[in-house]
């Protein structure tokens, strides 16, 4: 089981942050002003990409600059609480574990509500949920009128409950006994609208997909959320959170958007309400265990964030502080990175095939500014995440470029996207269809190397661009491997992958699983 | 990383490496002719002790190595192999030193690979058989690291004494050792809690001694007329910056090979990203070695650009022990088989480059003054003139030259009458000198090496005014031109 505290314990070294800012600025100016331009279109695309990178780097450093934040908690403050557990077709046994854990929370005045959306979502097991609710003795609110997806489900429950505080758990997020006792006390501050806690994945070590997913979470729920805390800009994440009913009703309940939690948080901050992040694992959920679930989850997040970017005018929205604008913009613009990644990985190919370059560059001068910048970035990521962010997570983040591009296209064209929950069961099969652009890239690189070598031999430019292309292939390869089908290919690719990148624990965990399965078979 | 997997006995392993290095050095490297710097070392040390110190003071260096070489020459003479053997001893001693240092800092696996990489390093092999202070500087730096990290792990009075001794020897071996002391000072203040009580007082006392000796040497140099014989170095570029790293790992290769490897730098960035992993906890040793690796290189570059050029990879050998250790440590944290593969690849790459460096005559640092001098000895007659340019390249030529033609320099340089300052070059000097030569000599043999910025002008002048009768290149950047001054 992954550590429940290490990702919350980073203590960034300020000199490293300052040096990284300096390196980022120097790199940008060198790229923008020091070299003669090559192809004009590529040059301006590159500059746009670099502006984006610099913005991301600076906003990240601004966020993690100080992660210390103290808020007063009154342990004697124990108002009534309604606990909402949302369900929309997930397995009943998964839901039951969460409900039972919620019932067993150490708190004198809480009621449990199962918010059953199975009926409106036409899920087969909606009645089983009601049976289970009766069996364990909790209220089940089964919605009969559709609309608003998860937000609509919660809003429906708000109308049928009355406690001044509401807790929301997704189906698979099993709360600890002390969840309420460690969160409710903060609401002694009458301006506090919501408390968010980490979204911890207890199944992270099951496989590479779950682990990568968790490691990305570690960066977000570690340094990023802790940094947002001091800026009163905590992102509402939709589960493992406590909300003041009064505040929620003031903004009209949960915003019925694809990113309902995020948007609701924005609305609350806009009205001057405060937010708090409690950096302690108080509930344990499940990471997506298969590639398809992972990509669906990423698409949903990206689509939601981009929807916010295009529809909610975060830059000029009244009521938000400067820090909140920066934080929200930083969060949603991250999902624009797909286009920048695509451009960056295409640059070496454009040279290998057509000899096109954005700038006529002295490669060693570029190295002189780029290498320190990247090493410092690696150092900052390692330092601020308490060394929890891994190459694997970085690889998955970068390789999600195609998901982000699809989400961007979907958001720009206003395509309707149905709300879907992340599967709580591992799906098996061939997911290579999800990584066709990545496979095409590898093929193009191989052909491009041959093509360029025939055209101009192993010149310094060819070697340098080949190195960049291999850099990109190395970055996306773990992602392709994770999508490979079960069987011979997956087995062998996975062995190589695990050999290189997965800690011993994963292999050990997997061995235990295999042994257990084989034991049963015997 | 599992140390228990290494069941090899380290003693025979290290001894084997030491013997291999000795054999290769004696039969490959020591067979080469003396290079400029080496001949200068011999010239500087072939006098009485006070004379050695005085002459070194005029140069850019500090005296420890030269004093040691002086006594070494008293015992073993000034033959090619004899003068180089002192450096070879330091190089060979560096192999067990790196093993012990790596074992104390990290693990037995890192120790084995560190010893192996040290032994096959083309850069260290080159300086391991050069009659200069660089292999000694490498050894002293490794010992300094060893003492320094032991001071926070298991400090004893003896260790403090050893650290003090190593510090004084290092500071007296090369000024760049100061960068290591600076790195240690920064590390000490940043990680002060690691060190036992009283460390500040001890470090402070030692620093005071080092500063006092450095100040004394500074005053002495000033009075002796320091810096007059400094070769002109150019301001380093980003290419020079990265060449330091390529020199460290692949040695001295031709431009084509060097450019190939340097162009692969994005792969190194990729490797850095793959090192992002939960396994990499923040060890103080790693922080210290990073400082000891990058502070000297970065500071030397900044000083070279902002103040005065002093950016040479051989000076920066002080960064090499820590850089090797870091590289091996990071690669060894991969999963077992990948670690073995990458570490093996690194050592094999070094070994291959060592071989290429040994056999490729185009290696840019090869200086075949011996063949050049022997050639002139065999061909020049008593009524000919042998000119070497730049003037200070006369040291290795003098060592080998035994011909009947008069040996002189261009521009003129009489080290005994004018101190160590050659005549300042101006375009009319060659016209003046060649007119003078015309009246006395028949042919002039002009050996051009170590271009100081005027070589091409001189060659063009001679080509356009006299008949060139012969031309021969002995090593990269070392060419002989023979001109007929007059016909009998």
CB proximity B273 to A under 8 Å: yes
B378 touches chain A (CB under 8 A): no
Mutate to test the interface with B, among A373, A390, A459, A497 (most CBs of B within 10 A): A390
pLDDT digits (tens, 9 = 90+) for B388-429: 998 989 999 999 999 999 999 999 987 776 556 788 899 899
Residues B265, A374: C-beta atoms closer than 8 Å = no
Instruction: Report the 3 state secondary structure along A143-177.
Output: CCCCCCHHHHHHHHHHHCCCCCEEEEECCCCEECC
**Long-range pairs of B345-353 with CB within 8 A, sequence gap ≥ 24:** B346/B113, B346/B117, B346/B249, B347/B113, B347/B116, B347/B117, B347/B120, B349/B249, B349/B250, B350/B117, B350/B120, B350/B121, B350/B122, B350/B249, B350/B250, B350/B251, B351/B120, B353/B122, B353/B249, B353/B250, B353/B251, B353/B253, B353/B257
Q: Which of B370, B375, B371, B376 is nearest to B395 (CA)?
A: B370
pLDDT of residue A423: 57
How high is the pLDDT of residue A519?
A: 43
SS (H, E, C) A110-142: EEEEEEECCCCCCCCCHHHHHHHHHHHCCEEEE
Residues 282-311, chain B: which have Cβ within 8 Å of A? Answer: 282
Nearest to B479 by CA among B467, B456, B422: B456
Interior/surface letters B156-190, b for 16+ CB within 10 angstroms, e for the rest: eeebbebbbebbbbbbbbbbbbbbbbebbeebbee
Q: Is the dihedral of CA B107, B113, B114, B119 positive or negative?
A: positive
- Please, what sign has the CA dihedral across residues B210, B217, B76, B122? positive
Tell me the two tokens of residue A174.
Answer: 């099993």
pLDDT at A183: 97
What would the pLDDT profile of B45-91 be if each residue is shown by its tens digit?
A: 999 999 999 888 888 889 999 999 999 999 999 999 999 999 999 99
Q: Judge: B273–A378 Cβ closer than 8 Å, yes or no.
A: yes
Q: Is B50 on the interface with A (CB under 8 A)?
A: no
Q: Give the C-alpha separation, B367 to B387, whole Å.
A: 17
* CA atoms of A289 and A459, how far apart (whole Å): 44
Cα–Cα distance between B49 and B132 in angstroms, integer? 17
Burial class of residue A313 in the structure, from the number of CB atoms within 10 Å of its CB (0-12 exposed, 13-18 middle, 19+ buried): exposed
Which residues of chain A have a CB within 8 Å of the CB of B338?
Answer: 499-500
Distance CA A35, CA A520 (A): 65
What does the mean pLDDT of chain B come to? 91
String of DSSP letters for B196-232: PTTHHHHHHHHHHHHHHHHHHHHHHHHHHTTTTTPPP
- Within 8 A of B237 by CB-CB distance, chain A residues are 364-365
The closest CB to that of B262, out of A364, A394, A470, belongs to: A364
Q: How far is CA B166 from CA B18, B44, B141, B160, B439, in A?
A: 22, 24, 8, 10, 58
- A100: closest CA of chain B, how far (Å): 34
Interface ipTM = 0.82
Q: By CA distance, what is B261's nearest residue in A?
A: A463
For residue A368, give how far its alpha carbon lies from the nearest alpha carbon of chain B (Å).
6
Nearest-CA residue of chain B relative to A365? B238
Phi and psi, residue A398, nearest 5°: -65, -40
| pLDDT, tens digit (0-9, with 9 covering 90-100), for B305-355 | 999 898 999 999 999 999 999 999 999 988 888 899 999 999 999 999 999
Contacts of A474 in chain B (CB under 8 A): 270, 274
Q: Note the helical H segments in B225-254.
A: 238-250
Give how far the C-alpha of residue B262 lies from the chain's centroid of Cα atoms, to the nearest Å.
21
Residues A287 and A216: beta-carbon distance below 8 Å: no
Query: How is residue A33 annotated by DSSP?
Result: I
Domain definitions of chain B by residue range: 3-359, 369-484
pLDDT band (50, 70, 90) for residue B242 = very high
Residue A510: the pLDDT is 47
Instruction: Let me know: does B138 contact B127? Beta carbons within 8 Å.
Output: yes
**Which CATH number is A82-179 given?**
3.90.550.10
- Please judge whether B238 and A367 are an interchain contact, meaning their C-beta atoms are less than 8 angstroms apart: yes
Structure-model confidence comparison of residues A252 and B281, the more confident one: A252
| Paired tokens of B274 | 């793959």
- A32: which DSSP letter? I
Specify burial of residue B229 (Cβ count, 10 A radius: 0-12, 13-18, 19+).
buried
Cα dihedral B434, B440, B445, B447, rounded to 10, equals -50
Of all residues in chain A, the one with the smallest CA distance to B238 is A365
Q: Do B274 and A471 touch (CB under 8 A)?
A: no
Of the residues B238, B273, B304, the best mutation for testing chain A's interface (the one with the most A CB atoms within 10 Å of its CB) is B273
Pairwise CA distance, residues A353 & B289, whole Å: 42
* Distance from the A330 Cα atom to the nearest Cα atom in chain B, whole angstroms: 23
- Do B191 and B184 meet the contact criterion of CB atoms below 8 Å apart? no
Domains in chain A: boundaries: 82-179
How close is the nearest chain A Cα to the Cα of B265, in Å?
Answer: 7
Regions of chain A where pLDDT drops below 50: 488, 503-522
Q: Looking at the complex, does the CB of residue B280 fall below 8 Å from at least one CB of chain A? A: yes
Does the beta carbon of B334 lie under 8 angstroms from any beta carbon of chain A?
yes
DSSP structure class, residue A37: B
Q: How confident is the model at residue B4 (pLDDT cuts 50, 70, 90)?
A: very low
**CB distance from B2 to chain A under 8 Å?**
no
Contacts with A317 (C-beta within 8 Å, 6 or more apart), sequence order? A266, A270, A325
H/E element holding B103?
helix B80-105
In three-state secondary structure terms, A31 is helix
The answer to whether B315 touches B194, Cβ cutoff 8 Å, is no
Asked if residues B395 and B376 have their Cβ atoms less than 8 Å apart, the reply is no
Q: In sequence order, what are the residues at sequence separation of 6 or more whose Cβ sits closer than 8 angstroms to the Cβ of residue B221?
A: B57, B58, B227
Sign of CA dihedral A259, A264, A269, A270: positive
B478: which residues sit within 8 A by CB, 6+ positions away?
B367, B368, B369, B372, B447, B448, B449
pLDDT value for A84: 97
- The neighbour count for residue B379, using CB atoms within 10 Å, is 17
Whether residue A191 contacts residue A273, with contact meaning beta carbons closer than 8 Å, is answered with: yes
Q: What is the 3-state secondary structure (H, E, C) of A286-316?
A: CCCCCHHHHHHHHHHHHHHHHHHHHHCCCCC
Strands of the sheet containing A110-116, edge to edge, are A139-142, A110-116, A81-87, A165-169, A241-244, A192-196, A274-277
The answer to whether B24 touches B118, Cβ cutoff 8 Å, is no
Structural tokens at position B474: 């002995």
Mutate to test the interface with B, among A215, A472, A500 (most CBs of B within 10 A): A500
Q: Does B416 touch chain A (CB under 8 A)?
A: no
Query: Dmax of chain B from CA atoms?
Result: 84
| Nearest chain B CA: its distance from A334 CA (Å) | 20
A487 Ramachandran zone, left/alpha/beta (phi>0; psi -120 to 50): left
DSSP-assigned beta bridge partners for residue B473: B479
């Amino acid at each position: 089981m992954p550590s429940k505290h290490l990702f919350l314990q980073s203590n960034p070294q300020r000199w490293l942050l300052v040096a990284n800012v300096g390196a980022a600025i120097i790199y940008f100016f060198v790229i923008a002003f020091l070299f003669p331009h090559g192809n004009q279109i590529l040059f301006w695309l590159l500059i746009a990409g670099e502006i984006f990178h610099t913005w991301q780097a600076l906003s990240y450093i601004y966020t993690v600059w100080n992660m210390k934040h103290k808020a007063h908690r009154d342990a004697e403050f124990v108002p009534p609480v309604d606990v909402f557990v949302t369900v929309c077709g997930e397995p009943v046994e998964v839901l039951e574990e969460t409900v039972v854990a919620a019932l067993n929370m150490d708190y004198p005045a809480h009621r449990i509500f199962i918010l059953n959306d199975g009926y409106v979502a036409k899920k087969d097991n909606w009645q089983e949920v009601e049976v289970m609710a009766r069996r364990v003795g909790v209220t089940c609110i089964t919605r009969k009128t559709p609309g608003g997806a998860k937000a609509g489900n919660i809003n429906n429950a708000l109308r049928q409950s009355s406690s001044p505080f509401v807790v929301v758990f997704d189906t698979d997020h099993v709360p600890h006994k002390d969840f309420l006792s460690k969160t409710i006390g903060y609401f002694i501050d009458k301006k506090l609208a919501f408390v968010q806690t980490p979204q911890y994945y207890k199944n992270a070590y099951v496989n590479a997909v779950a682990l990568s997913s968790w490691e990305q979470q570690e960066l977000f729920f570690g340094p990023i959320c802790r940094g947002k805390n001091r800026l009163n800009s905590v992102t509402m994440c939709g589960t493992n959170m406590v909300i003041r009913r009064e505040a929620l009703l003031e903004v009209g309940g949960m915003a019925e958007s694809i990113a309902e939690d995020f948007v609701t948080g924005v609305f609350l901050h806009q009205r001057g309400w405060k937010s708090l992040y409690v950096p302690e694992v108080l509930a344990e959920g499940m990471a997506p265990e298969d590639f398809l679930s992972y990509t669906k989850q990423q698409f949903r997040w990206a689509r939601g964030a981009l929807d916010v970017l295009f529809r909610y005018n975060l830059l000029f929205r009244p009521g938000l502080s400067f820090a909140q604008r920066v934080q929200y913009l930083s969060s949603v613009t991250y999902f624009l990175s797909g286009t920048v990644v695509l451009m960056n990985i295409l640059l070496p190919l454009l040279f290998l095939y057509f000899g096109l370059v954005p700038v006529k560059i002295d490669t060693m001068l570029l190295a002189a500014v780029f290498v320190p910048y990247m090493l410092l970035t690696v150092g900052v990521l390692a330092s601020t995440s308490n060394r929890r962010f891994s190459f694997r997570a970085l690889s998955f983040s970068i390789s999600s470029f195609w998901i982000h591009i699809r989400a961007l296209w979907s958001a720009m064209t206003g395509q309707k996207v149905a709300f879907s929950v992340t599967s709580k069961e591992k799906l098996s099969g061939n997911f290579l269809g999800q990584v066709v652009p990545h496979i095409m890239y590898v093929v193009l690189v191989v052909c491009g190397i041959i093509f360029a070598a025939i055209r101009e031999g192993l010149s310094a430019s060819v070697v340098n661009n080949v190195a960049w292309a291999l850099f990109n292939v190395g970055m996306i390869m773990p992602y392709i491997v994770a999508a490979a089908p079960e069987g011979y290919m997956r087995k062998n690719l996975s062995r190589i992958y695990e050999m290189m990148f997965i800690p011993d624990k994963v292999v050990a965990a997997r061995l235990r699983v295999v042994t257990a399965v084989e034991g049963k078979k015997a | 990383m599992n140390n228990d997997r290494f069941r090899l006995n380290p003693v025979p392993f290290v001894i084997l490496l030491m013997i291999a290095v000795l054999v290769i050095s004696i039969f490959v490297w020591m067979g080469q002719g003396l290079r400029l710097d080496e001949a200068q070392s011999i010239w500087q040390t072939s006098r009485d002790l006070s004379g050695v110190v005085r002459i070194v003071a005029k140069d850019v260096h500090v005296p420890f190595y030269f004093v040691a070489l002086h006594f070494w020459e008293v015992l073993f003479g000034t033959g090619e192999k004899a003068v180089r053997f002192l450096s070879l001893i330091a190089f060979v001693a560096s192999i067990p030193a790196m093993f012990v240092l790596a074992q104390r800092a990290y693990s037995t696996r890192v120790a084995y690979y560190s010893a192996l990489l040290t032994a096959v390093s083309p850069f260290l092999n080159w300086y391991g058989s050069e009659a200069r202070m660089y292999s000694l500087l490498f050894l002293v730096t490794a010992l300094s690291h060893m003492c320094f990290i032991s001071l926070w792990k298991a400090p004893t009075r003896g260790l403090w004494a050893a650290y003090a001794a190593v510090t004084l020897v290092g500071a007296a071996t090369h000024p760049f050792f100061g960068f290591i002391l600076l790195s240690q000072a920064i590390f000490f203040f940043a990680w002060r809690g690691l060190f036992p009580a009283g460390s500040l007082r001890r470090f402070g006392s030692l620093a005071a001694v080092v500063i006092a000796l450095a100040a004394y040497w500074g005053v002495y140099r000033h009075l002796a007329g320091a810096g007059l014989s400094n070769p002109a170095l150019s301001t380093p570029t980003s290419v020079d910056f990265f060449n330091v790293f390529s020199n460290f790992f692949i040695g001295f290769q031709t431009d084509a090979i060097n450019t190939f490897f340097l162009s692969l730098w994005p792969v190194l960035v990729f490797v850095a990203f793959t090192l992002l992993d939960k396994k990499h906890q923040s060890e103080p040793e790693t922080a210290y070695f990073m400082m000891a690796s990058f502070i000297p290189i970065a500071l030397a570059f900044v000083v070279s650009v902002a103040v005065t050029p002093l950016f040479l990879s051989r000076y920066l050998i002080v960064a090499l022990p820590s850089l090797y250790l870091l590289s091996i440590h990071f690669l060894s944290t991969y999963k077992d088989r990948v670690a073995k593969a990458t570490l093996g690849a690194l050592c094999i790459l070094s070994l291959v480059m060592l071989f290429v460096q040994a056999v490729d005559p185009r290696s840019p640092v090869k200086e075949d003054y011996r063949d050049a001098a022997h050639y002139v000895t065999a061909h020049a007659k008593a009524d000919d003139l042998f000119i070497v340019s730049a003037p200070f390249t006369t040291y290795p030529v003098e060592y080998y030259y035994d011909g009947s033609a008069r040996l002189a320099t261009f521009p003129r340089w009489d080290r005994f009458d004018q101190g160590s300052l050659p005549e300042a070059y101006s375009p009319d000097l060659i016209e003046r000198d060649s007119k003078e030569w015309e009246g006395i000599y028949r042919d002039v043999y002009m050996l051009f090496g170590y271009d100081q910025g005027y070589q091409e002008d001189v060659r063009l002048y001679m080509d356009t005014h006299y008949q060139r009768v012969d031309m021969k290149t002995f090593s990269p950047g070392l060419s002989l031109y023979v001109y007929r001054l007059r016909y009998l």
